[in-house]
């Protein structure tokens, strides 16, 4: 397995991670827990050492799943989780909350659910307009000094907040949506800020919530709990209109000797910077192996400029949320 370092940190992880959210979230019925544990074990056997979860996934049960599955390997893997929501005892959602006392409570609960002595990366899940980011960074800094957290991360934060947080406690990783069809972080200064400050980028939805695999068409039906059932980019009209992106990925894949659309899409993300580690979510071994095949696919500068020129002429239909 190839490895990458997240920015200037000494944190080395597999060049591709695994997003675990949909193993116990936004699904009806939920996947079988024992099957998901076996799947995570297979991912470790394949060389994946970087796993992503959050308190809000489930809520709570995704961390429990990841903690149970990875307990036998906890000295060999990196587990990232997130805080930032006000969840009631039974997981009822009361909006954002990154208050220092909330962060501390979440840290203690996540440590128990993940069955670890320290959280490898603790991300703020979303910026909280009611709490200065300096207070957030300061609280995580205290948790690092106490040995409960190893690295501080942010998710979906704008460039100015990244700078302010980083000045208090160095940010190891920024999680953000980033893919061949959603490149806003290139335009709003976030990617450049990560590069300047030496922060690793961890793209979620690098396969466009499954669309960029080419397996979704206008007849695909989504469960009511699935985020895509109410996502503007997954209306029948948008799915049909955006087919042109899949055709581009298929063309490049054919030119590269039969690579799948998913492999081209992931190889594109990997080729952008050496400190980018995507975390596609998968629950099927065939998808996992297909994704890992992207690590063997080298896109040349000509391939990348070809893709960039083609995407510049494509108007992607539908907002991402």
> Which residues carry out catalysis?
57
Of 113, 107, 102, 106, nearest to 149 by C-alpha is: 107
Task: Write down the residue that tokens 């539908």 correspond to.
Answer: 318
- Give backbone dihedrals phi and psi of 131, rounded to 5 degrees, phi first: -130, 120
Largest CA distance in the chain: 54
Q: Which residues contact 143 (CB under 8 A, 6 or more apart)?
A: 103, 104, 107, 122, 149
Gap between the Cα atoms of 227 and 3, Å rounded: 31
In terms of phi and psi (left: phi > 0; alpha: psi -120 to 50; beta: otherwise), the region of 158 is: beta
Task: Write down the residue that tokens 């490895």 correspond to.
Answer: 3
DSSP assigned state of 30: P
Q: What is the DSSP string of 108-148?
A: HHHHHHHT-SSEEEEEESS--TTS-HHHHHHHHHHHHHTTS
CB neighbours (10 Å) of residue 300? Answer: 10
Torsion from C-alpha of 226, 264, 315, 234, nearest 10 degrees = -10
């Amino acid at each position: 397995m190839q490895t990458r370092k997240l920015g200037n940190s000494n944190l080395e992880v597999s060049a591709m991670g695994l997003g675990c959210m949909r193993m116990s979230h936004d699904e009806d019925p939920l996947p079988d827990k024992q099957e998901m544990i076996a799947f995570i074990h297979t991912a470790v056997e394949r060389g994946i050492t970087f796993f992503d979860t959050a308190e809000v996934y489930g809520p709570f049960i995704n961390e429990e799943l990841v903690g149970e599955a990875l307990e036998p390997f906890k000295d060999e893997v990196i587990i990232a989780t997130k805080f930032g929501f006000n969840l009631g005892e039974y997981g009822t959602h009361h909006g954002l909350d990154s208050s220092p006392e909330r962060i501390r409570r979440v840290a203690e609960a996540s440590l128990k659910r993940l069955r670890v002595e320290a959280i490898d990366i603790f991300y703020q899940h979303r910026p909280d307009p009611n709490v200065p980011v300096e207070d957030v960074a300061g609280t995580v800094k205290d948790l690092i000094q106490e040995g409960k957290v190893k690295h501080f991360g942010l998710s979906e934060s704008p460039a100015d907040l990244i700078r302010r947080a980083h000045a208090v406690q160095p940010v190891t990783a920024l999680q953000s949506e980033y893919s061949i069809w959603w490149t806003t972080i290139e335009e709003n200064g976030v990617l450049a800020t990560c590069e300047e400050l030496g922060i690793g980028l961890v793209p979620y939805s690098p396969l466009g919530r499954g669309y960029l695999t080419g397996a979704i068409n206008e007849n695909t039906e989504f469960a009511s709990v699935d985020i895509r059932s109410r996502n503007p980019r997954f209306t029948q009209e948008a799915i049909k209109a955006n087919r042109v992106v899949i055709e581009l990925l298929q063309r490049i894949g054919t030119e590269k000797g039969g690579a799948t659309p998913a492999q081209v899409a992931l190889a594109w993300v990997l080729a952008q910077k050496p400190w980018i580690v995507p975390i596609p979510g998968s629950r099927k071994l065939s998808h996992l192996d297909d994704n890992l095949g992207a690590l063997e696919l080298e896109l040349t500068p000509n391939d990348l400029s070809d893709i960039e020129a083609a995407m510049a002429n494509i108007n992607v239909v539908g907002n991402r949320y």
